[in-house]
């Protein structure tokens, strides 16, 4: 068993938040185990004999509340110091990425390097104060604050270098920024107002809405949306075709809950029929999304891979020139620590490549700002590192859903209830700043081809409340101007 002592420094009140906390094994893969607050410590009982780390929401003074983790540590009777171990892992992350990105001797890194050195000095002092645990906690928190600030600046520095390189090589010639069209949107006026900010639109294809009964297919709302988009000179992406979450599966499918062959055949017919109907209008398809993380049917590993193969193959057969994307949701894989019927996202992605499935790229969802598993906030360096991990699989990458709230949910001031915050509470200005920053980081990577914002308009059943680019009255939020300026900057190399 591992246990971590915690000290309520800088106005904190204990115990620490354990909602969304999970254990991590080798390569950052979540592992099963019990986590509880007991006798003044966070006690972890993993279901493995291997060393594990803990990942949890953590408030850092002057920075915010984000998901941070410790290094992997062996079991022992003596408790570890939670503050110190979180700082240790952050500094290790910074050193690894700084070396991987080749920034040690880079011109312009001097000031950031000084901050990293200051964070390291504070961490060393915390190690030297082990006989004064409260003092060690304050020094470790100081190392975290300085380190996270340096990590953000290092991510931005690296992004700016590679944006310039991508501009010079013509890497922004094809459509690269898009948005998600709400179900049934037919307003040409709204879509035309966005044409100078975005290059493409994603058309949702929710199976539950398309086929409410087994014998009835309703494509009319989608056709109306496509007609509205056609007049705005927007490229089109469709999907996801298959998602097996509770909001996507038609009610009539549940009678086949234990009959995989019937589910497979119904899914195949849906994919084939939908792609065939819109193949002339839609040139890019998200064929599956989140199948590795969320399924009402509890598919086995083999069944998940078979459905992925079928959706990609059928789409390629019907529309051979189209782009086929396999979408990853909840990319840090917290869900796997709770549900062993799922597949860790990077393992699923690797298996999709190794098994020879015919697809063109991976999708990646980056939705933050809700106190729910998979949607709690990560710092910019974690986001950049996750994108780099997926690049190692050798496929182009598309950020298929990027979103963050524009105000606190239900007026709450608790950052934990908001799934975290960065620098300040969520607002329209903070939403604009955060989304623009993540867009810059993502599009600086030469293998990231597109970024798609989600949703367009507040309201409805959006995953993240109040995360639209327009409010409920269809008035633009500050994020729209930030994105328009960002897109123009990317298209103007001299900028």
Token reading at 200 = 């493409």
Residue 335 has pLDDT above 90, yes or no: yes
Q: Give the tens place of pLDDT for each residue, 39-91.
A: 889 999 999 889 999 999 999 988 999 999 999 999 999 999 999 999 999 99
Whether 144 contacts 60, CB under 8 Å:
yes
Q: Give the tens place of pLDDT for each residue, 92-126.
A: 999 999 999 999 888 889 999 999 999 999 999 99
Residue-level pLDDT at 107 = 83
Please give the helix or strand (H or E) that residue 229 lies within, else none: helix 220-230
Which residue in the block uniquely carries the two structure tokens 């240790």?
Answer: 88
Return mean pLDDT, the chain.
92
Q: Out of 169-183, 273-287, 446-460, which region has the weakest mean confidence (pLDDT)?
A: 169-183
Range 333-343 average pLDDT: 92
Residue 292 has pLDDT above 90, yes or no: yes
Task: Report the DSSP beta bridge partners of residue 284.
Answer: 237, 323
Residue-level pLDDT at 445 = 95
The pTM for the full model equals 0.94
Phi-psi region of 33 (alpha: psi -120 to 50; beta: other; left: phi over 0): left
Residue-level pLDDT at 183 = 76
Whether 307 contacts 299, CB under 8 Å:
yes
All domains in the chain, ordered by first residue: 2-162 (no CATH), 171-491 (3.20.20.80)
Residue-level pLDDT at 63 = 93
Q: Give the tens place of pLDDT for each residue, 3-50.
A: 999 988 766 667 888 989 999 999 899 999 999 998 889 999 999 889
Please list, in sequence order, all residues whose beta carbon lies within 8 angstroms of the beta carbon of residue 283, skipping any fewer than 6 positions away: 235, 236, 237, 321, 322, 323
Residue 50: exposure state from Cβ atoms within 10 A (0-12, 13-18, ≥19): exposed
Q: How far apart are CA 322 and CA 283, in angstroms?
A: 5
Residue-level pLDDT at 461 = 65
Nearest to 408 by CA among 467, 366, 462: 467
Residue-level pLDDT at 1 = 84
Count H helices, E strands: the chain? Answer: 12, 17
Whether 142 contacts 91, CB under 8 Å:
no
Residue-level pLDDT at 194 = 84
Helical H runs in 370-477? 380-391, 428-444
221 φ/ψ angles, rounded to the nearest 5 degrees: -60, -40
Please give the helix or strand (H or E) that residue 493 lies within, else none: none
Residue-level pLDDT at 10 = 67
């Amino acid at each position: 068993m591992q246990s971590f002592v915690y000290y309520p420094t800088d106005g904190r009140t204990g115990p620490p938040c354990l909602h969304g906390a999970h254990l991590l094994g080798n390569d950052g893969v979540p592992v099963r185990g019990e986590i509880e607050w007991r006798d003044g410590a966070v006690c972890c009982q993993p279901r493995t004999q291997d060393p594990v780390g803990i990942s949890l929401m953590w408030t850092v003074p002057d920075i915010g509340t984000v998901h941070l983790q410790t290094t992997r540590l062996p079991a022992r009777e003596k408790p570890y110091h939670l503050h110190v171990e979180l700082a240790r892992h952050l500094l290790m992350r910074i050193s690894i990425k700084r070396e991987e990105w080749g920034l040690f001797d880079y011109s312009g890194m001097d000031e950031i390097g000084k901050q990293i050195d200051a964070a390291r000095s504070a961490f060393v002092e915390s190690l030297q104060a082990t006989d004064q645990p409260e003092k060690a906690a304050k020094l470790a928190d100081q190392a975290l604050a300085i380190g996270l600030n340096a990590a953000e600046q290092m991510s931005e520095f690296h992004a700016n270098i590679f944006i310039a390189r991508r501009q010079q090589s013509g890497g922004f010639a094809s459509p690269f920024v898009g948005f998600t069209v709400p179900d049934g949107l037919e307003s040409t006026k709204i879509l035309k107002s966005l044409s100078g900010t975005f290059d493409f639109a994603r058309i949702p294809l929710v199976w539950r809405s398309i086929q409410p009964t087994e014998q009835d297919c309703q494509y009319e709302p989608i056709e109306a949306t496509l007609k509205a988009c056609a007049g705005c000179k927007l490229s089109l992406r469709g999907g996801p075709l298959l998602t097996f979450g509770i909001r996507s599966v038609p009610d009539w499918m549940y009678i086949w809950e234990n009959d995989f062959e019937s589910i497979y055949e119904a899914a195949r017919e849906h994919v084939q029929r939908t792609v065939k109907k819109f193949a002339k209008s839609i040139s890019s398809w998200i064929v599956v999304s989140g199948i590795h993380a969320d399924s009402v049917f509890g598919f086995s590993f083999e069944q998940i891979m078979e459905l992925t193969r079928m959706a990609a193959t059928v789409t390629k057969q019907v529309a051979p020139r189209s782009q086929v994307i396999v979408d990853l949701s909840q990319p840090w894989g917290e869900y796997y620590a709770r549900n062993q019927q799922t597949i860790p996202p990077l393992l699923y992605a690797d298996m999709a490549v190794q098994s020879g499935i015919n697809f063109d790229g991976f999708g990646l969802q980056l939705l933050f700002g809700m106190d729910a598993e998979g949607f709690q906030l990560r710092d910019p360096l974690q986001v950049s590192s996750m994108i780099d991990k997926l690049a190692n699989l050798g496929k182009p990458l598309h950020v298929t859903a990027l979103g963050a709230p524009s105000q606190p949910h239900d007026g709450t001031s608790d950052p934990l209830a908001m799934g975290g915050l960065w620098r300040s509470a969520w607002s329209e200005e903070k939403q604009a700043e955060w989304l623009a920053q993540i867009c810059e980081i993502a599009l600086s990577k030469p293998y990231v081809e597109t970024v798609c914002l989600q949703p367009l308009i507040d309201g409805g059943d959006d995953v993240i409340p109040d995360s639209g680019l327009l409010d409920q009255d269809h008035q633009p939020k500050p994020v729209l101007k930030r994105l328009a300026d960002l897109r123009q900057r990317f298209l103007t190399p001299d900028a």
